[in-house]
Chains A and B, each alone.
Chain A
Amino acid sequence: MELDKQLEKLITENEKSFYRLAYSYVKNQDDALDVVQEAIYKAFASIESLKNVDYIKTWFYRIIVNVSLDYIRKRKKELVNYDEYILSNDSGTEDHYSDIDLKQSLDSLPEKYKTIIILRFFEEMKLEEIAQVMDKNVNTIKTWLYKALRMLRISIDEERDVKNG
């Protein structure tokens, strides 16, 4: 099968996964749709750069991650102002919703750790695949994964401690 046909197949069969991944970064529907479309466009435009067809899946995941990060980077400036606004209106009391706490603890991780958790546990990728997506060696991924889990557990445990205490 030709490369572009394989790409099309990969995308259409996994479009929901790609959307979820994009959404987990940009956090809103319009931007997530934009990211998916842009990644698709980008993938076709640079398909010659894909040297080995075996990597098509991880290659496309990498594009999704990169385009998502580009979006976040662009929005960061706007968000700084938004955060200031929120902080200045924060009454200081804490609301507790367990679901939101969990999600926030994932979102509170630095991007690379969050990416690893999503790819490893939600997209069920192998460590080698994650290494390809993130363009790092497997050992680095292992280290990061361990660290991510630790950070996650700690932050969740802390929440529980606060509530129980």
Chain B
Amino acid sequence: MDKKLKQLKEDYMDIPIPDELDFKVKKAIKQGRKSMKAKDNKAKIRKGYIAAASVAAATVVLTVGVNVSPVLAKGLSDLPVLGGIIEVLTFREYKVDEKNYNADIKVPEIQGLENKELQNSLNEKYLNDSKALYEQFMEEMNELKEAGGGHLGLDNGYVVKTDTEKILSIGRYVVNTAASSSTTFRYDTIDKEKEILITLPILFKDDSYIDIISENIKSQMREQMKSDDSLIYWIEGDNNDFEGFDKISKEQSFYISPEGKLIIAFDKYEVAPGYMGNPEFTIPTEILTDLLMGDEYIK
């Protein structure tokens, strides 16, 4: 080999490998696998919700009857029914506070729904998800400690995106602040009057929303990239290097803003490089009007 090339190669091979590379690679693989599974499972899980939601619809008549009689209602629930306050509270908090290892996990709990089935299924999910995160954190912390140390940070909590008379949108986030800076959001939107979980398929007459929303998002992406070249989205077809964003899924993550706008949300890495964070797109209501089941949610 040419002498200069040899020298260049030596320099290249001398690039120091950080100790934490192996750990971070393993962690990224774990996360990558999870996202793979999440894709597969998403459909299954949501199907369960729809079933729960339709049960809710069936029991509405009954609960209205219960509501009329406060005495009876009180007997069924230890919460005061007055005004039927549906709210989100912090049910439990887990904390790890050691040098280099920090976790803060806040588990939300929804209260005040008459539809106990829905309420319990959501609260159970919230608790289980947080528990799993906590256990994973402890496991990784111990692995790291055995491996000679490192940093780990986890911030898991929730934000109430919308809380109007009609709608409650709650977003739960997971931020890995050290080993890899990933953030994910999971949203649930509840119709507080009907006490059902709102899903995209429930909002729309048929599946045509998928294409129409997807096209709108793609044009928003292109516009943003045009006006600022430091912004990058991966769009299928525009970038032939690997799979880019083509369509939202039927059960794409979303929430409804207090103004009644539909917000489509993506995870980090889902449609853009990591530094772009968790992209969100507000879908103009005009393009949805003909597709919506009604105008009670999206305005």
Contacts and interface: CB of A to CB of B under 8 A. Distances in A.
Interface of A: 4, 8, 11-12, 15-16, 19-20, 23-24, 29, 33-34, 36-38, 40-49, 59, 62-63, 66-67, 70-71, 73-74, 76-77, 99, 102-103, 106, 117-118, 121-122, 135, 152-153, 156
B20 A45 contact: no
B195 to A, nearest CB: 35
Contact of A135 (B27, B39, B232, B241): B241
B241 A74 contact: no
The 10 closest A-B pairs by CB, nearest first: A44-B32, A49-B243, A46-B243, A40-B28, A37-B28, A70-B273, A15-B25, A122-B12, A38-B274, A20-B15
A17 to B, nearest CB: 10
A24 B15 contact: yes
Interface in B6-25: 7-9, 11-13, 15-18, 20-22, 24-25
Contacts of A152: 4-5, 8
B177 to A, nearest CB: 13
A15 B32 CA distance: 15
A12 B26 contact: yes
14 contacts: A4-B33, A12-B26, A24-B12, A34-B274, A36-B25, A37-B27, A43-B32, A44-B35, A45-B35, A46-B242, A62-B242, A63-B242, A66-B241, A152-B5
B181 interface: yes
Given A103-B11, A152-B4, A45 B270 contact: yes
A66 B130 CA distance: 34
Report, as a range, how many residues of chain B touch the other chain.
35 or more
A135 to B, nearest CB: 7
A12 B25 contact: yes
B8 A106 contact: yes
B269 interface: yes
A41 B242 contact: no
Contacts of A37: 24-25, 27-28, 180
Contacts of B31: 41, 44
Nearest to B272: A70
B269 A45 contact: yes
B1 interface: yes
A18 to B, nearest CB: 8
Given A34-B274, A66-B242, A67-B273, A44 B29 contact: yes
Contacts of B275: 71, 74
A33 B24 contact: yes
Given A46-B242, A102-B7, A11 B24 contact: no
Nearest to B4: A156
A71 to B, nearest CB: 7
A69 to B, nearest CB: 9
B58 interface: no
A41 B11 contact: no
Contacts of B12: 20, 24, 118, 122
A36 B21 contact: yes
Contacts of B241: 62-63, 66, 135
A42 B7 contact: no
Contacts of A33: 18, 20-21, 24
Contact of B273 (A74, A118, A156): A74
Interface in B21-50: 21-22, 24-29, 31-33, 35-36, 39
Contacts of A67: 273
Interface string B61-80: 00000000000000000000
Given A24-B15, A70-B232, A152-B5, 17 more contacts: A11-B29, A20-B15, A36-B21, A37-B27, A40-B25, A41-B31, A41-B269, A41-B274, A44-B36, A45-B39, A45-B269, A73-B230, A102-B11, A118-B12, A121-B5, A122-B9, A152-B4
B272 to A, nearest CB: 9
Contacts of B5: 117, 121, 152
